[in-house]
């Protein structure tokens, strides 16, 4: 994985070539990171596909409904400590204060253990209440109990990841994530079928959560091994001191606020979803199953190509911050525009493909029927998801973190309010719920664009994204007129759609020679490098 940005200036090349070279260098710096994220997402996708095929939609619904609660529990336990560890260790690293590393780790472990002692009994007590009173489905209880057992393992892994990221050992954290995904796939493929011979959907979901625990433990063991190996190689003075709490919490608590809010809104999402559908007469079991299909099948498929903008968003903060600090506004504009262009194009390709072929892709991959209408609702909205992460990172880099957080807050609250209103309408029900889930993405993305528009140095407005979206709309309307959907094999159909969209983007000037030159230079340099 790549932690930063490498900028190379070559004075001997012409201006245009210099620009292209710098651009390609910037993007090439994120190639390894992009590949690691892609591999992790791909393995996670394989795991999810196997899970749906083996257990069925109801078990997936139970698992998907319990998972947000697990993430919320974990966020409460962690209190932003992993992020604080990374930042503090990175600062100490500049001073080569190795002895202080372990005082930070000692304090972090103590805080996390105390947090576990306080919150775990509360989690155990409220779990049946969450299942029966909030989610209206006692079948979820068993899975929630198993998820509580994962929390200490995941919290310990978070501490070690934070430390390794702080000392710039990003490849170890990437490998740990890959180990977790590989173990999950192996267990779900070979171990889970052994438990499914006579199990109910609720037992199948609980077994799957237990296998997630084993995979998390495997990842933790690897991280612990790498940590101990690195520690043995260091020369330092042992100290029994603890790192002071105020500077630790000064970083941890603000960081945890954003994460807690995000996990809390996700925690509320299935609760409101099920309660709203219950008003229209849909049973809790049916609503849970439907939520599982949406959050466990449709959304992951829609978001699968998002590894490109996600990787770009990680390298954006140091890249944009550097240009902004030096007041090099031409370079700042270049980096912002290029990142958003690649993110927008990714969203355009993804939205088009899933709108026209999403239903068939869901059936072929997951064996889930009748998903076409849901994919057609979500695809035009999720076009904007692909620009959300880069926009958030750009705002952070331009010292507008508060605006970025508030935009996310408004989007989260708006989604929940609209979810209850639309899902409770007898005429639209689940379709309304799907629109609401997507609406949160729309609100946040539009607010991010509005915030960035106020930054004159960025030179970005709504018009930047309007034309690619027009190309998307033109493609989904005219592509079936060219060759009817379903008249060819799925692969040929998808390739025809991608080719048709590419031609449209070229005609509308959304893919230009400069961007193509960047891609070719990246490919050439990557071939020589790797």
**How confident is the model over 160-193, as pLDDT tens digits?**
988 888 887 777 887 888 899 899 889 988 888 8
pLDDT value at position 111? Answer: 92
Would you say residue 490 lies in a domain? no
For residue 359, which of 379, 344, 345 has the smallest C-alpha distance? 379
Residue 200 lies in a domain: yes
| Tens-place pLDDT, residues 391-408 | 887 887 777 877 888 888
Give yes or no for residue 523 having a pLDDT over 70: no
Residue 184 lies in a domain: yes
For residue 438, pLDDT beyond 70: yes
Q: How many domains does the chain have?
A: 1
Tell me the pLDDT tens digit for each residue of 329-357. 777 787 788 778 888 888 999 999 999 99
pTM: 0.80
> Are the CB atoms for 335 and 386 separated by under 8 Å?
no
d(CA 384, CA 389): 10
Q: Please state, rounded to an integer, the average pLDDT across all residues of the chain.
A: 82
For the ranges 416-420, 485-489, 522-526, the one whose mean pLDDT is highest = 416-420
Query: In the prediction, which pLDDT does 32 show?
Result: 60
Mean pLDDT within 89-97? 78
Q: Mean per-residue pLDDT for 434-462? A: 85
Tokens of 357: 């072929």
Per-residue pLDDT tens for 266-299? 899 999 999 888 888 888 888 998 898 888 888 8
Longest CA span, the chain: 73
- Number of Cβ within 10 Å of residue 386's Cβ equals 28
Decide if pLDDT at 8 tops 50.
Answer: no
Yes or no: say if 415 and 338 are a contact pair by the CB < 8 Å rule.
Answer: no
Asked if residue 502 lies in contact with residue 7, where contact means CB atoms within 8 angstroms, the answer is no
Domain assignment present for 241: yes
Domain that holds residue 223: 56-255
DSSP state letters, 169-201: -HHHHHHHHHHHHHHHHHIIIIIHHHH-SS--H
Cα(243)–Cα(104) distance, integer angstroms: 5
Contacts of 444 (CB under 8 A, 6+ apart): 388, 407, 408, 410, 411, 412
Residue 67 lies in a domain: yes
Residue 103 lies in a domain: yes
Instruction: Give residue 511's region: left, alpha or beta (phi > 0; psi -120 to 50).
Output: beta
- Judge contact between 112 and 155, C-beta under 8 A: yes
437 falls within a domain: no
Residue 224 in domain:
yes
HEC sequence for 376-427: HHHHHHHCCHHHHHHHHHHHHHCCCHHHHHHHHHHHHHHHHHHHHHHHCCCC
- Rounded distance between C-alpha atoms, residue 40 and residue 177, angstroms: 7
Neighbour-count burial of 423, counting CB atoms closer than 10 A to its CB (0-12 exposed, 13-18 middle, 19+ buried): buried
- Note whether 31 and 62 are within 8 A (CB): no
């Amino acid at each position: 994985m790549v932690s930063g940005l490498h900028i190379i200036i070559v004075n001997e090349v012409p201006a245009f070539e210099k620009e292209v070279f710098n651009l390609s260098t910037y993007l090439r710096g994120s190639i390894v990171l992009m590949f690691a994220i892609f591999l992790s997402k791909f393995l996670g996708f394989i795991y999810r596909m196997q899970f749906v095929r083996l257990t069925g939609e109801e078990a997936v619904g139970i698992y998907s409904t319990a998972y947000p609660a697990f993430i919320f529990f974990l966020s409460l336990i962690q209190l932003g400590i992993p992020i604080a560890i990374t930042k503090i260790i990175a600062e100490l690293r500049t001073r080569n204060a190795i002895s202080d590393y372990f005082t930070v780790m000692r304090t972090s472990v103590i805080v996390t253990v105390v947090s576990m002692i306080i919150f775990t009994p509360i989690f155990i007590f409220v779990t049946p209440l969450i299942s029966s009173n909030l989610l209206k489905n006692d079948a979820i209880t068993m899975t929630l109990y198993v998820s509580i057992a994962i929390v200490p393992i995941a919290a310990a892994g978070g501490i070690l990841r934070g430390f390794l990221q702080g000392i710039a050992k990003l490849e170890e954290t990437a490998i740990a994530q890959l180990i977790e995904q590989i173990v999950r796939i192996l267990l779900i493929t070979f171990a889970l079928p052994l438990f499914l011979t006579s199990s109910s959907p609720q037992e199948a979901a609980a077994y799957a959560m237990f296998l997630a625990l084993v995979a998390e433990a495997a990842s933790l063991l690897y991280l612990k091994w790498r940590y101990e190996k690195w520690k043995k190689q260091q020369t330092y003075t042992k100290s029994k001191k603890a790192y002071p709490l105020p500077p630790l919490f000064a970083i941890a608590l603000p960081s945890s606020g954003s994460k807690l809010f995000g996990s809390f809104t996700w925690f509320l999402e299935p609760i409101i979803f099920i309660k709203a559908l219950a008003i229209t007469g849909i049973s809790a079991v049916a609503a849970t199953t439907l939520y599982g299909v949406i959050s466990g099948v449709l959304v992951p498929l829609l978001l699968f190509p998002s590894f490109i903008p996600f990787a770009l968003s990680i390298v954006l903060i140091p890249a944009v911050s550097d240009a902004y600090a030096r007041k090099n506004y031409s370079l700042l504009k270049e980096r912002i525009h290029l990142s958003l262009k690649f993110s927008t194009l990714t969203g355009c390709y993804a939205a088009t493909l899933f709108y026209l072929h999403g239903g068939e892709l869901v059936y072929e991959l997951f064996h889930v029927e009748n998903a076409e209408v849901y994919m057609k609702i979500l695809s035009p909205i999720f076009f904007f998801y692909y620009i959300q992460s880069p926009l958030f990172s750009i705002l952070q880099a331009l010292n507008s973190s508060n605006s970025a957080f508030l935009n996310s807050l408004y989007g989260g609250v708006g989604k929940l309010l609209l979810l209850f209103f639309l899902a409770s309408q007898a005429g639209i029900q689940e379709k309304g719920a799907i629109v609401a889930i997507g609406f949160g993405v729309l609100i946040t993305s539009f607010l991010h664009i509005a915030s960035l528009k106020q930054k004159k140095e960025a030179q970005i407005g709504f018009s930047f994204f309007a034309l690619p979206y027009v190309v998307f709309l033109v493609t989904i309307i005219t592509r079936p007129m060219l060759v009817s959907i379903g008249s060819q094999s799925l692969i040929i159909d998808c390739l025809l759609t991608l080719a048709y969209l590419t031609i449209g983007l070229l005609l509308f000037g959304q893919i230009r020679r400069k961007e193509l030159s960047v891609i070719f230079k990246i490919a050439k340099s990557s071939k020589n490098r790797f």
